[in-house]
Chains A and B, each alone.
Chain A
Amino acid sequence: MKKFDIIIIGGGHNGLVAASYLSKKNKKVLVIEKNENVGGLAEYANNLNCISPIITKELNINAANTNNTNHIISLEDHQNHTVLEDNNGKLSFIKTNADEHDQKNFLSIINNYKIFSKTLGSFMFKKPPRVKSGNKADILQLISMGWKVRKLGKKNMRELLRVIGLNIADDLEDNLSNNNLMGLLSHEAVLGTNLGPRSPGSILTLLYKQAINNNVFNFKNIEVADYINQLEESCNKNSVEIIKSTEVKKILTQDNSVTGVQLNNEEIFESTCVISNSDPKTTYLNLLGAEILDTDFIRRTKNFRSKGNVAKLELVFENDININGVANNMYGKFIYAPNIKYIEHAFNANKYNKYSENPCLEFYVNKNILSANVYYVPYLANSNHQENEIIKKCISILSKFITDMKISKEKLITPNAMEVKYNVAGGHWHHGDLEIDQLLMMRPFYGSAQYSTPINGLYLCSAGTHPGGGLTGINGINAAKKVIGDLK
């Protein structure tokens, strides 16, 4: 029976960040990964905008910045696409059917959101304070959060408080008239959430994303695979033991404290500290077992909203792909969400656990390969998706913009498939919706915030914790710091 200082369940990027950090503090760390490769859901990430300076500093990661000028192309049925250029965060229109007034307003909305997201971002990367703990540090942080909001100035603070619970459609319709532009921004707000453009809180999700990515649109500035490789190397260098293709069956406990983990092959590793990089639901209900958790806590675990609704589509064409009406040198991120109504209709199906008849798409083109995020394709608890039907619908949308489609290979990964492969309950990107009641000190839920759990020595570091998904690595590093703090 082997003993470790710390065992990390799941070699997703947050697990690797935590492992790397802890091993640098001279801890004997074991990472157990279910799949053949580490990285977890990061495999599906089309884009990684920036790595937090905290990660680069603490772990010496230096992922190459591809640093291209990026384009965002919002497709439109009549081929009047809008093309935006993003030059290090500076946006400009290259082509659009919107009038000048709309163009100006569009950019000013984004700028306004940027101010708010910066305020949010300033407490994004810290350990969220615990309300009513009586702890001095928590109180100070709460005060500083309030102060940062107040520092926006009277006008901006009021505006932030006005929009924070608002739906994105209302705010856009107040300021814009061009459908394509409204669709584009609504898309950024609702992708990966269980919200439609008219759902309250959809501005908050946009601000949150903006805060995580440093930008309203996220691109591929950094190669995800390269980043994961560096993380793995950093772990190896610090002699973290990584076991792959091995699944954890149970977290072992005694008297409300962790004693180790049991693998599927019955092997047991001992440790008084376990960090779970699995999502909160899987961690509590499957790995730990509901039998040893309080009923109220189980209620909250079950009520944690974690229904994924984005599918990943990979199409391989026989020839290089040409998008009608877009010059080759402008290729970047393509979005098909032509107007608010279209997205809202697509969202309707999601409410009833059906996939959208007319889904929205976000895709990237690389020579003859097209990889797309398709939504809404909700996770189905008791049945399976008709994958061929969904692929057909996507192809029929794409055929509006790509003439002469000869597809040699097609593959759809639904939230159900993600759940099976990565043990993420609900197949949700962020392990749980990023909504106001599941954020900050309320993430994932009361009794489990600040990376801790009701079980002594068990911690969470997955996207289910603050600040959520989006490949920040902050979850991993914050959890690791919490562990070090508690071990002292």
Chain B
Amino acid sequence: MNSSEISYKKPLLETPFHKRTSENCYSNNWYRWAGYKVVNEYSSIELEYTAVRNTAGVFDITPMHKYDIKGEDAKKFINKLITKDISNIQSNQVAYGIWCNEDGMVIDDGTIFCFNENHFRIFCAERNLNWFSDTATGFKVIIEDISTSIAALAFQGPLSCKILNLLKVNNIENLKPFHFDNYNIENHNVTISRTGFSGDLGYEIWCDPSQAIDVWDSLFKFNRDYKVLAAGMNALEMVRIEAGFIQPNVDFMSAEQALRPNRMRNPYELGLGWLVNLEKKYFTGKQALIRHKEKGLEKKLVGLDVEGDKPAVGSVLYDNSKKNQAKEIGIVTAAMWSPVLKSNIAIGFVNKEHYKLGSNVYAEIYHPEELDYRKIWAECKVVKRQFFNNPRRNAVPAFK
């Protein structure tokens, strides 16, 4: 066998933007995502983050998994798959949804694009073909993994609309949040959706891989005035924590991947109860979710406003201000110092006595300081998970 055929000897795949991303990746810091390499950090996370929050940042999100759902039962299939009801979805609309297993435990989340009644497309972070195919049993649908045939960029930031407008993308300012349409960027046909992971105004741009480099270059065309920057996964992680979005296998274990049953989480525990419609006739996990709702929560994923300025990464949460009397009541799944909010924020699970907004919990922070840890007992306030939510995110028109 040729050594390049052995999977662990195969180099990671390059996305259609690789020529540009590698040129800009001074740190040579790559991240492994679904068999591809994408940039973790181009030169400095601070610069990239600042660009996303002040001008616009470009993320290469090509490795996202993309599944085409076609056939006369496409809508019925989606309605069986996800927990919310999309019966009223219109063409060119995007739905955000989660799907659960029979125990009502969340497998993954994703955005669902509706082209028409018989054609949907699902974008998600984890591989799901197996789950979708088994869910499709009994429905007249064809499910196809089209992950490699579409190149994707996230173009996020307050000036993203302005720059698209300068690129003469017709009527882009009137594209409503959670909608998509076909546009033209400098003679290249692209699909643009007003979606994203930053909690700010932003778009995702989908195009044919052959046009990827041209589309990338276009976004940087007005850089003399606007300073658009390519941004890596580390910066994306920062903005998504600020926006309060959760990631499978980071903030919770996907039910398809968790080995220990007590690590799986139901939507209510993740604060995603608003995505569950128990009135809907049928979807996978409905019976279990009815039971979960009746039973109430044991723990919940909440936002935490942490005292001080040291990020509570991986901290264990306690119930008492006195360390020697404290009982363990939760854990932090993601934490950071937020430059834009000037506050120390975290996302974490806390148990049922403490998940009400305004409750106080205590985090034990191990802060590394020159080969030593400083142990900080920091007070945290339970707050809404959505730390950053700028009104321009949902404004129409997005730019005047």
Contacts and interface: CB of A to CB of B under 8 A. Distances in A.
A98 interface: no
Contacts of A290: 137-139
A295 B282 contact: no
Contacts of B135: 295, 298
Given A256-B287, A291-B282, A454-B287, A297 B138 contact: no
B294 interface: no
B282 A296 contact: no
B76 interface: yes
A295 B131 contact: yes
Given A298-B134, A299-B134, A291 B102 contact: no
Contact of B101 (A285, A292, A296, A302): A296
A256 B289 CA distance: 14
B137 A294 contact: no
Interface in B69-104: 76, 80, 101-103
A139 to B, nearest CB: 20
Contacts of B284: 294-296
A interface, over-half SS: helix
A295 B287 contact: no
B101 A294 contact: yes
B interface, over-half SS: loop
Contacts of A294: 101-102, 284-285, 287
A454 B290 CA distance: 14
Interface residues of B, number: 16
**Interface residue tally on A, bucketed by range:** 10 to 19
Contacts of B134: 295, 298-299, 302
A294 B103 CA distance: 9
A285 B102 contact: no
Given A291-B80, A447-B102, A298 B137 contact: yes
Given A256-B287, A454-B287, A295 B102 contact: yes
Nearest to A447: B102
A255 B375 CA distance: 54
B138 A285 contact: yes
Nearest to A253: B282
A292 to B, nearest CB: 5
A325 interface: no
A251 to B, nearest CB: 14
A237 B156 CA distance: 77
Nearest to A303: B134
A289 B134 CA distance: 13
A292 B282 contact: yes
Interface in A141-166: none
Nearest to A301: B137
A163 to B, nearest CB: 32
A192 B248 CA distance: 45
A282 to B, nearest CB: 13
Contacts of A289: 138
A322 B76 CA distance: 63
Interface string B360-380: 000000000000000000000
Interface string A429-457: 00000000000000000010000001000
B285 to A, nearest CB: 7
Given A297-B102, A298-B135, 9 more contacts: A290-B137, A291-B76, A291-B80, A294-B102, A295-B102, A295-B134, A296-B103, A296-B284, A298-B137
11 contacts: A256-B287, A291-B138, A291-B282, A294-B102, A294-B284, A295-B102, A295-B135, A296-B102, A297-B102, A298-B134, A302-B137
In order of increasing CB-CB distance, the 4 nearest A-B pairs are A290-B138, A294-B102, A290-B137, A296-B102
